[in-house]
Structure 1
Amino acid sequence: MRLKNLKYILALLGLISTFNIAQSQEMLGLTMGNYKGITGVMINPASMTTNKVYLDINLATANVFLRNNFAYLPKEDFVIWDLLDKNYQFPTYGEEEKNVLYYNNSKAKQITQNTRILGPSAMIQIGDHAFGITTGVRVFTSGNNIPWNVAEFGYWGLDYGPLHNIDFDEKNIDFGSNSWMEVGLSYAYDVWKYYDQQLTVGLSVKKLWGYAGAYVYSDKLNYLVPNDTTIDIKEMNASLGFSGPINYDNSEFLNTSPTFRGSGVGMDIGVVYVKRRQVELNKWNGERLCAQNIVDYDYKIGVSIVDIGRVKFKENAQEHQFDEVSIYWEDVDTLQFNNANSFLHELSNTFYGNPNASYVGDNIKIGLPTALSIQADFNLRNNIYVAGFFIHPLRLNKSTLRRTPQLAIIPRYETKYFELSVPISLYDYNYPRVGIAARFYFITIGTERLGTYLGLSDMNGMDIYASIKIGINKGSCKERFGGACDNNNFGNNILRRKR
């Protein structure tokens, strides 16, 4: 792919990330089953040796996830399938003909967007070892603890009387966005086997190339709006940084700038414990990869930390700091800004009396959406499984992107050629969801927001993922060589436990 074409692809993904009001963030239908192959490393790199495939080639996998808890379209007025109707007219609300409604409550507002494309990637297992290589492009946006009053002023404008003359004191507001390309190498090793038990460790190391990024953080914002032309900022501490393919003096796209303005390193680490259903007596003899033994298990439990690392932007980057500033700012309704530099110069001059005083550096660092994850999978009988999934963000600094916490139970039916799972999850520990994912041999499609597509829930986000992969199963020698390996127990004399 030429760099020119890559620029436009990354620009398009960056544009997608701006549509915050447009949910699987973790693609549970692709990362929890026994045929997950290389896609499993996105959650736990140690999972590579516990698959039913020894070779897995990902041709293309894509995930689009958006969610916010402020603005929405009522389910009575909009279903996502309406987008297929060329004559459909979006609804408007109120005298001002707003395009969306909002949840009228005093909860802190959040925005999460995750677009992930897993490009050509592959894994292979050779005995106790497994190796993987991944390529991909990611765009991740998170806004957290956004004050409800700030969101409502954004919706109505400063002339919204019900919020006038109220002293608002807000803390720990953050917003961040990052788009990057990554190439990773993964390794997993069965470090311990004892009768019917197995322990595997795994590691992924990824080289990151940053395309664009930005963050805003404020640990203190005390303000009051007396009328529609004035903001009384009594105290504010804030920092912000950004880097992108934009001329900050005229807002034009920089066609001649470097494709990537930042770089970094990312890492995932994990461990998986397997309680086998059988005691392995004869190990794989190392002659045919297709004759490797399938791990039939009662249950397996994994623990991992994913997306450790950051991207440092050094090209076309700015960082600004506002420490304990205050201002009674009149006539704000007359201000007009055509570019980023004019806006920041005005802010700096207003707070410090100097248009350049807020500028503190020409590079920024944005942390990946680091998270702790725990996975469990229980083999019931007759191809029926029940998995459990937990993920919680680990924020290492103010510019670390925040992955939204999630709890899920995923019952599934699984065979070589067909798989159906129904994730039942609790998003951000507050919002219940039901999804569905289906695999037809090498094609998978799924969502964790089924209600969005059935018209059962308001439109405050969306989620869909799909994958095309080629996998070669363990015990598949019969198919290719005419041997006896199609029997799962071929080459593996076993001692079955009594039940």
Structure 2
Amino acid sequence: MRIQLTGCAVLLVLFTNAQERFGILHSNYGGSDIGLLNPARPAGQWPYADIRILGADLFAWNSLIAWSDRQSPLVGELRNGMAGNTSGNVVLRSQGLAATHRAVVQAGLSGPAFSLALGRGTIGAGIRSRVHVSATGISQELSNFIYHGLNYVPQRGERYRDAGIRAVGAAWTEFGLSYAHILHAQGFGMVSAGTNLRYALGHAAGALQLTDLDYTVVDSALLQVHEATARYGFAMPAVNAGAGLGADVGMTYERTLEEVDGYRPHKGSGGCTPARYRYRIGVSLIDLGGMRFRQGEAGAITAGAITIADHTRLPIQDVEDLDSLLATSTQWSRSKAFSIGLPTAVSVQYDQRLAENTYVAFAAVQQLAGRNAMRLRRSNSIAITPRFETRYFEASLPVVVHEYDVAHPSVGFMLRFNGLVLGSDHIMPFISRGDVYAMDVYMRLRWMIFRSPACKGRRPAKRVSGGREMIPCATPNE
């Protein structure tokens, strides 16, 4: 048990990916990160240029199991685990509001990237590698078998029927180009739109989708599958195992504090001072697209009754062994190619100015993967994030709810020291001994250039609407 706990903890810390990074998401100094959830955000970005040197993200969440009864916070348990003294137990979690259990694990490494403001337009490019694994549709009965094994006595002899079980995973590197533009700037309103376009180079993938599964675990050895409909696909690791395209699209509206007629960011005159806003609203579609793996193994199975005499000893080493086991299948079609969709979602964002340098923001992400789709699944999430930001320092405190489980919100933090960003959307495992069912850490190392060549040597000045003297906001004697 100690080895298992230590291994799980190390995997969580080293190989998981921060999903949305809510702590830095709304920042006006967030660099390339602000465009990942809404590609319109870089339009009119406050720094003239942002260069990402390196980034790493860590995230995992599940509703099935938790590491409980720990004697130390997570860092202490990792240290104790290396010495063979890890405490605690892995326990089953309750389902909460969802009808089935779900899990998302991600891993990622962000390479060089840049974004550059060119007046009303902002261009960007970058590279990052991602690993994403998701599972959904796991019923309470199936979760008992997963946790206790098929020899779980209370469920022996009971016939169960599950639907919509899906486990999908992929690893890929994406090369991205982005463009955001201020479409309309007049009066106290500014509308922007943007898109990210990506080429994805797939490295590995695996997927199993069970549309229907009707089964009975008769005893300690005998398993009867009464009916099953499934699709599967897998591609072994390779530099170029597959390829595909991805995209994000988004729009934002800002209610500004001053008139923005003729506003051109970083282009002299009033453009050398960022257009401050009272509030900002955004909507976006993210991770559209998918990847095609042409040199793998894939197929679809519609099976009738299958009897497995000893489920503890399944001699399956290759496709031929599986063919022998499924000899009673009514249909089995095979192919070498299969597709996996990216973790598509729709998102809305809102950022409200409270006082100078102080804001509170809201964001919601709703995944769009269908129950029977071979598509990676994003975790549904809602976050409220108060923050304080200046050019060289920023702090935020995101409160995040995953999968609408309002009874178990996570609390995080984010600190930015100029271009160095350290954050987590779930800090409690590191400082408390509560149950661990999620993990989140991220960091960024960036270089920001705040003033453009056109603005160097100019003192910040009040913006002049349309390049002319501003018309008074109110008529005399009103």
| TM-score tier after normalising by the smaller chain length | 0.7 to 0.9
Aligned equivalent of 2:357, options 383, 386, 405: 383
Deviates further, 142-151 or 488-497:
488-497
Aligned equivalent of 2:52, options 42, 46, 58: 58
Give the drift of 1:291: 5.4
**Aligned pairs (5 A) from 1:352-367:** 352-353=327-328, 358-367=332-341
CA distance in 2: counterparts of 1:314 and 1:449, whole angstroms: 38
User: What are the superposed Cα offsets for residues 261-310 of structure 1, whole Å, 9 maximum, x if unpaired?
Assistant: 10000000011111111013564497669953401111111111010000
Look up the match of 1:26. Answer: 20
The DSSP-based 3-state class of the residue aligned with 1:53 is coil
Structure 1, gaps ≥5 residues long:
1-14, 94-99, 246-257
Residue pair 1:65, 1:113 contacting (<8 A) in 2 also: yes
The DSSP-based 3-state class of the residue aligned with 1:162 is helix
- 1:124 and 2:126 correspond: no
CA distance in 1: counterparts of 2:430 and 2:421, whole angstroms: 17
The DSSP-based 3-state class of the residue aligned with 2:133 is strand
Look up the match of 2:283. Answer: 303
- Alpha-carbon spacing, 1:236–1:41, altered in 2? closer, same or farther (3 Å): same
Look up the match of 2:312. Answer: 333
Look up the match of 1:470. Answer: 447
Aligned equivalent of 1:84, options 55, 79, 82: 79
Q: Which amino acid aligns with 1:101?
A: V
Give the drift of 1:103: 2.5
Residue pair 2:56, 2:108 contacting (<8 A) in 1 also: yes
Look up the match of 1:441. Answer: 418
CA distance in 1: counterparts of 2:263 and 2:171, whole angstroms: 45
The DSSP-based 3-state class of the residue aligned with 2:202 is strand
Give the drift of 1:353: 5.0
Using structure 2 for the length normalisation, give the TM-score. Answer: 0.88
The DSSP-based 3-state class of the residue aligned with 2:24 is helix
- Alpha-carbon spacing, 1:105–1:51, altered in 2? closer, same or farther (3 Å): closer
Give the drift of 1:359: 4.9
Give the drift of 1:165: 1.1
- Alpha-carbon spacing, 1:43–1:444, altered in 2? closer, same or farther (3 Å): same
- Alpha-carbon spacing, 1:218–1:287, altered in 2? closer, same or farther (3 Å): closer
**Aligned pairs (5 A) from 1:205-244:** 205-244=197-236
Give the drift of 1:369: 0.1
Look up the match of 2:167. Answer: 175
- 1:103 and 2:93 correspond: yes
Give the drift of 1:24: 3.8
CA distance in 2: counterparts of 1:165 and 1:75, whole angstroms: 33
CA distance in 1: counterparts of 2:187 and 2:22, whole angstroms: 30
Q: Which amino acid aligns with 1:262?
A: G
Q: Which amino acid aligns with 2:70?
A: E
CA distance in 2: counterparts of 1:138 and 1:286, whole angstroms: 33
Give the drift of 1:495: 6.4
Residue pair 1:281, 1:495 contacting (<8 A) in 2 also: no
CA distance in 1: counterparts of 2:153 and 2:462, whole angstroms: 71
- Alpha-carbon spacing, 1:476–1:387, altered in 2? closer, same or farther (3 Å): farther
Aligned equivalent of 1:424, options 390, 399, 402: 399
- 1:371 and 2:371 correspond: no
The DSSP-based 3-state class of the residue aligned with 1:192 is strand
Look up the match of 1:292. Answer: 272
The DSSP-based 3-state class of the residue aligned with 1:158 is coil
Using structure 1 for the length normalisation, give the TM-score. Answer: 0.84
CA distance in 1: counterparts of 2:265 and 2:61, whole angstroms: 50
Q: Which amino acid aligns with 1:272?
A: T
Give the drift of 1:233: 0.9
CA distance in 2: counterparts of 1:87 and 1:425, whole angstroms: 34
The DSSP-based 3-state class of the residue aligned with 1:268 is strand
Give the drift of 1:61: 1.5
Give the drift of 1:202: 0.4
CA distance in 1: counterparts of 2:94 and 2:284, whole angstroms: 38
Residue pair 1:412, 1:422 contacting (<8 A) in 2 also: yes
CA distance in 2: counterparts of 1:185 and 1:36, whole angstroms: 17
Give the drift of 1:448: 1.0
CA distance in 1: counterparts of 2:423 and 2:171, whole angstroms: 24
Look up the match of 1:403. Answer: 378
Deviates further, 363-372 or 466-475:
466-475
CA distance in 2: counterparts of 1:307 and 1:374, whole angstroms: 15
Aligned equivalent of 2:435, options 441, 448, 458: 458
CA distance in 2: counterparts of 1:62 and 1:285, whole angstroms: 30
Aligned equivalent of 1:319, options 287, 298, 301: 298
User: What are the superposed Cα offsets for residues 178-211 of structure 1, whole Å, 9 maximum, x if unpaired?
Assistant: 1100001101111112211111110111001000
- Alpha-carbon spacing, 1:359–1:72, altered in 2? closer, same or farther (3 Å): same
Look up the match of 1:250. Answer: none
Q: Which amino acid aligns with 2:86?
A: F
Look up the match of 1:69. Answer: 63
Residue pair 1:24, 1:449 contacting (<8 A) in 2 also: no
Structure 2, gaps ≥5 residues long:
1-9
Residue pair 1:277, 1:497 contacting (<8 A) in 2 also: no
User: What are the superposed Cα offsets for residues 309-358 of structure 1, whole Å, 9 maximum, x if unpaired?
Assistant: 0010112x011221143212212223344x4x1xx43333222358x973
CA distance in 2: counterparts of 1:204 and 1:267, whole angstroms: 5
Look up the match of 2:3. Answer: none
The DSSP-based 3-state class of the residue aligned with 2:40 is helix
CA distance in 2: counterparts of 1:418 and 1:406, whole angstroms: 27
Give the drift of 1:28: 1.2
Residue pair 1:54, 1:290 contacting (<8 A) in 2 also: no
Q: Which amino acid aligns with 1:332?
A: H
CA distance in 2: counterparts of 1:469 and 1:290, whole angstroms: 27
The DSSP-based 3-state class of the residue aligned with 2:218 is strand
- 1:201 and 2:193 correspond: yes
- Alpha-carbon spacing, 1:306–1:275, altered in 2? closer, same or farther (3 Å): same
Give the drift of 1:488: 6.6
- Alpha-carbon spacing, 1:381–1:347, altered in 2? closer, same or farther (3 Å): same
Residue pair 2:43, 2:194 contacting (<8 A) in 1 also: no
Look up the match of 2:33. Answer: 39
CA distance in 2: counterparts of 1:201 and 1:404, whole angstroms: 25
What is the count of residue pairs matched by the alignment? Answer: 456
The DSSP-based 3-state class of the residue aligned with 1:345 is helix
Give the drift of 1:232: 1.2
Q: Which amino acid aligns with 2:242?
A: G
